[in-house]
Amino acid sequence: MFVIFGTGGFGRELVRPAQEMLSVTGGELVFASDAPEGPVLGIPVISADEISDEDTVVIAVGSSATRKSIASRLKGKPGFLRARTALIGPGVDIAPGAVFCDYTMVTASAKIGAHFQCNIYSYVAHDSIVGDFVTFAPMVCCNGNVHIGDGAYVGTGAVLRQGTSEKPLVIGENAVIGMGAVVTKDVAPGTTVVGNPAKLFERA
């Protein structure tokens, strides 16, 4: 079986790309959930305990920390889901569990970590390195020579300035880039930046 873990909005968005893929490769599509109710969109929903070692799983949960926790306990093999309209260029290394939604792109010579989520209309440009459990919301522009640490979240419409091979732009582990932010400088691990140009967000 090909399993989409999570029946929320993102999980439901993955149904059509998964069905298109399975029409070529074969296999049954199911949802999985810790609190299964269903079916959802006419697709059966199974419990996490029903996933076997032979099943292939993608995790449709936006939170990087939650996705990592789920991955640590699930049976099954981390899958790879690439929408028909997603483009993957030459020299790209992609770890298991990655999801590329419609109209996404990785241009060339980039490294993509495990369980990466690349939402609609987002791209990763040349020579970038994306860590494990990174989330791109829709329309993220990640330009060339950007290094993104594990667990980072990049909000809708954010723009990451191009770095260089000698000095890449660095987004630290578990950093959060706010919606529409324009990131021109390195972002420290665990911090949140917002605005244009992006600055540290401090709660009142």
Domain that holds residue 35: 2-78
pLDDT digits (tens, 9 = 90+) for 146-169: 999 999 999 999 999 999 999 999
CATH number of the domain encompassing residue 47? 3.40.50.20
Are residues 148 and 162 in contact, defined by beta-carbon separation less than 8 angstroms? no
Q: Are residues 139 and 51 in the same domain?
A: no
Q: Which residues contact 177 (CB under 8 A, 6 or more apart)?
A: 152, 153, 154, 155, 158, 160, 171, 183, 187, 192, 193, 198
Whether 28 and 86 share a structural domain = no
Q: Write down which residue in 78, 101, 118 finishes a domain.
A: 78
Query: Could you tell me if 31 and 87 lie in one domain?
Result: no
Report whether 114 contacts 133 (CB < 8 A): yes
Is there a single domain that holds both residue 103 and residue 191?
yes
Over 80: is that where the pLDDT of 202 sits?
A: no
Residue of 126, 147, 173, 191 marked active site? 126
**Same-domain status, 195 and 166:** yes
Averaged pLDDT for residues 108-132: 98
Phi and psi at 28, nearest 5°, equal -100, 140
Q: Is the N-terminal amide bond of 189 cis, ω within 30° of 0?
A: no
Tens-digit pLDDT profile for residues 49-58? 999 999 999 9
Opening angle at CA 46, ends 44 and 51, nearest 5 = 125
198 CB contacts (<8 Å, ≥6 apart)? 177, 178, 181, 182, 183, 184, 185, 187
Domain edge (last residue) among 38, 57, 78: 78
Residue 191 is predicted with a pLDDT of 97
The answer to whether residue 126 is catalytic is yes
CATH number at residue 184: 2.160.10.10
Strands 29-33 and 77-78 come out as unpaired
The closest of 99, 159, 164 to 126, measured between CA atoms, is 164
Are 121 and 23 found together in one domain?
no
Q: Tell me: do 98 and 177 sit in the same domain.
A: yes
Could you tell me if 39 and 102 lie in one domain? no
Number of domains in the chain: 2
DSSP per-residue codes, 126-156 = TT-EE-TT-EE-TT-EE-SSEEE-TT-EE-T
Q: Is the peptide bond before 36 cis (omega within 30 degrees of 0)?
A: no
The span from the CA of 159 to the CA of 143, in Å, is: 8
Task: Among 78, 110, 131, give the residue marking a domain's end.
Answer: 78
C-alpha–C-alpha distance, residues 46 and 163, integer Å: 44
Tell me the mean pLDDT in the region 17-30: 94
